[in-house]
Every structure is written in C-alpha cells, then in structure tokens.
Amino acid sequence: MIGYESPVRQDILTKLGFNGKITVGAVCVYPSRVKDAVAALKGSGIPVASVATGFPSGQIPLELRLAEIKQAVADGAREIDIVINRHYALTGQWKLLYDEVKQMRAACGEAHLKTILATGELATLTNIRKASLVCMMAGADFIKTSTGKERVNAVIPVGITMARAIRDYYMRTGYKVGFKPAGGIRTAKEATNWLAMMKEELGDEWLNNQLFRFGASSLVTDLERQLWHNATGEYAADHYMPLG
C-alpha cells in the first residue's frame, strides 16, 4: 500500500533527512464510495471521511440527509462532512440551524462531525462567525469553510473569522474544535500563509491533523515541488511529481 502512507516521494524526504511518517489526514469520498474506500484503505490506519447531507447543496429533505449520514457511518466512515442549511443561515433562523446540526451530530454516532459552512454563500463575515459558533455549539468537531463547489472557497479573511470563533469557543468552554479550509489552496505558499494564520490565531496545538486539515486535493504536488527545491536548490516540474 505504498502511496497511502506517504504522499510525498520518498527520495525527496530522504534528501531532506526526514525520518518521520507523513500521511494524509483522511480520504474523503462521496457516500456511495465509502465501502470501496474503507476496503482500499484497510490496514493503513487512514480514516475514510464521507461527505453527506445532499452534498454540496444540501437541498434534500432532512430525513434523507440524516439517513445518508447513518448509511455512511454504517459503511465504515469515521468522519462525516455535512453541509449546513444555508437557507436558515441567510434568514437568521439560527435556532433551527442549531437543531438540525444537533440531529446530524446524533446521527454520526461515534464518527467525527465536520460542518461545512459554504462560506462563499453566507455573504458576510458576521454570518460566518455566527454559523461557526452555532455549529460548534451543536457539537461539530471541525468547522470547514467550503464544499469546494462554491464560487469563492477558502480565503484568509474568512479563515481568520472562523479561527477566532474557534478561539472564542475554546476560551468559553474548553473544547478544542478543528478547522479545515477547503478549496482553492493550490500552492505551498498559500498553505504556509494558512499555517502561519493558525499558529498566530490559535497556537501550535492546532498545527496537526487532529485540529487542522487542508481540503485541497491538488496542493500536494506543489508541496512536493517546493520540498524538492529546498532539498536540491533546483526548481521542480509538476510532471516529475506523482499525481496526488
């Protein structure tokens, strides 16, 4: 199963003198592929995550959304990425949103709950902050910016708003909630900005895959290119790096 354990070329890691272990935080799939993914990752220790609740729009009845979560969990997903009800957020019906996410939380059982705010559709930083707090109060283990399908995905001002909501929630309750920016992060440089943002706003405790994840499938190629550059002083080409 080489490749699941290390998404980075081993020769680059060797050149850098790195002797630790690097894996992805999780492999995220649609609900219908959870069984296949679980089978494929068997023994790797890498969790399977599943999007659910009518991803990406969430526009299906609540019963079906809850059923979808239960099915994915039953199929072996250890993490569930739900999308919040944007209608409730945009009309200020925060209590209804809270109740809905709470039911989703219950449907997850032991699985981790990541709530996708779809920040690109929430329009204002105030809405983003309120949605972040409502989701955390309803039991989210992670809050996540985007489905990757919105017109605007993860951007730093949104990230700061969400990180500060996490900090505020932690200060008040003692619960550490994770953060996942998703969509649009394609370069090592951008990833570094996000890391620095997390370090400054939340601290080193948040700089690991238990509390911080990138949802960015194409990022790994550029990370490898930059690691190559660091190891050799030469600029690297995409096609020398295995597809992520």
Partner 1 sequence: MSGSATATPSAAKPATDINEIFAKMSYGPAPESQAAVNKWLQDHGRKFGLFIGNQWVHPEGRSYMKSVAPATLEVLAETMQATREDVDVTVVAARTAFNTWSTTPGSTRARILYSIARHLQKHFKLLSVLEALDNGKPFVESMNADVKLLVRHFYYYAGWAQLCETEMAEYAPLGVIAQVIPWNFPLMMLAWKIAPALAMGNTVILKPASATRLSALLFAEIVAEAGVPPGVINILTGPGSIGGYLCAHPDVDKVAFTGSTEIGQGLRKSISGSGKKISLELGGKSPVLVFDSADLDAAVEGVIQAIFFNQGQVCCAGSRLLVQESVYTKFIEMLKFRLGKHRVTVSLDKCTDMGAIVDAEQLRTVQSYIDIAREEGCTVWQPEIVVPTSGYFLPPTIITNVQPVSRCVQEEIFGPVLCCMSFRVPSEAYALANNTKFGLASSVWSENINLALEAAHAIKSGVVWVNSHNIFDAAAGFGGYGESGFGREGGKEGLFEYVRPSWQKRPRPDISKIRDVREWSAATPALPPAPTSSPIASTSTSPASDHVDRTWKIHIGGKQRRSDSNHYYTVKTPKGAILGQVPDCNRKDIRDAVEAANLAQNSWANSAPFLKSQIMYYIAENMQCRREEFASRLSTMTGVSMEEALHEVDLSIDRMFYWASYTDKNGGIVQETPWKGFTIQVNEPVGTIGIVCPNNNPLLSFISLIAPAIARGNTIIVVPSSQFPLCALDMYQIFDTSDLPPGVINIVTGVADHLAKVLVDHQNLRAVWYFGSAEGSYHVEYLAASNMKRTWVSYGQVRDWSDRHQGSGHEFLHHACEVKNIWLPVGETAF
- Write the binding mask 9 to 48 for partner 1: x where contact by CB under 8 A, - elsewhere: -------xxxxx----------------------------
CB atoms within 10 A of CB 22: 11
Can 81 be counted among the known catalytic residues?
yes
Kindly state the smallest distance separating residue 125's Cβ from partner 1, in Å.
Answer: 5
Residues 71-110 that bind partner 1 (CB under 8 A): none
Interface with partner 1 (CB under 8 A), residue from 96, 125, 137, 197: 125
CA 165, chain centre distance (Å): 16
Is 235 exposed, middle or buried, given 0-12, 13-18 or 19+ CB atoms closer than 10 A? exposed
Assess whether 144 carries a catalytic annotation: yes
Joined tokens for residue 78? 């250890």
Q: Active site includes 15?
A: no
Question: Residue 69 or 223: which CB sits closer to partner 1?
Answer: 223
Could you tell me which residues come within 8 angstroms of residue 26 by beta carbon, excluding any fewer than 6 positions away? 46, 47, 48, 49, 78, 79, 213
**Rounded CA separation 50/69 (Å):** 8
Rounded Cα distance between 186 and 174, Å, is 33
Question: In whole angstroms, how close is the CB of 56 to partner 1 at the nearest point?
Answer: 18
CA–centroid distance for 54 within its chain: 17
Q: How many residues bind partner 1 (CB under 8 A)?
A: 26
For partner 1, which residue of 84, 97, 111, 128 counts as binding (CB under 8 A)? Answer: 128
Residue 155 within binding range of partner 1, rule CB under 8 A: yes
Q: Is 197 in the site for partner 1 (CB under 8 A)?
A: no
Question: How many residues make up the chain in this entry?
Answer: 244
Structure tokens at 44: 């790797």
By C-alpha distance, which of 160, 158, 155, 167 is closest to 203? Answer: 167
Q: Which of 126, 173, 218, 232 binds partner 1 (CB under 8 A)?
A: 126
The active-site residue out of 81, 114, 141, 222 is 81
Where along the sequence are the contacts to partner 1 (CB under 8 A)? Answer: 16-20, 119-120, 122-126, 128, 152, 155, 157-158, 161, 164, 167-168, 195, 199-200, 204, 207
The residues assigned a catalytic role are 81, 144, 180
